[in-house]
């Protein structure tokens, strides 16, 4: 989202892509050990915007902050909510 003049000032550019399904499963196991995420939950996450590792850390930290033991559904909904600001916005007007 930066213009080319700004990008030229960086010596190195790194692109982080959204997690694939295997990465999502791995991070669910690491951040929420002992909980079973079934196929329904994984499909729900796959149907949302892109997930990144920070989403899992933020979800876990928010539950830890209030000393909550969240259930699987609340974790999934928290992750879905985290992706909402990353979804591409619809354009208005004429597309060219």
Task: Supply 94's token pair.
Answer: 């004429």
Quick one: pLDDT at residue 12? 84
Q: For residues 3 and 28, which has the higher predicted lDDT (pLDDT)? A: 28
Evaluate whether 40 touches 76 at the Cβ level (below 8 Å). no
Residues 34-91 have pLDDT tens digits of: 999 999 999 998 878 788 888 999 999 988 888 888 889 999 999 998 888 765 555 5
Q: For residues 1 and 39, which has the higher predicted lDDT (pLDDT)? A: 39
Q: For residues 39 and 2, which has the higher predicted lDDT (pLDDT)? A: 39
pTM over 0.75: no
Evaluate whether 59 touches 75 at the Cβ level (below 8 Å). yes
């Amino acid at each position: 989202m930066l213009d080319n003049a700004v990008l030229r000032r960086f010596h190195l550019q790194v692109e982080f892509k959204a997690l694939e399904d295997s990465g999502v499963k791995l991070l669910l196991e690491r951040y929420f050990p002992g909980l079973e995420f079934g196929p329904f939950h994984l499909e729900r996450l796959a149907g949302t915007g892109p997930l990144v590792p920070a989403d899992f850390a933020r979800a876990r930290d928010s539950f830890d902050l209030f000393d909550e033991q969240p259930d699987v559904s609340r974790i999934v909904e928290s992750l879905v909510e985290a992706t909402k600001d990353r979804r591409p916005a619809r354009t208005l007007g004429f597309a060219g």
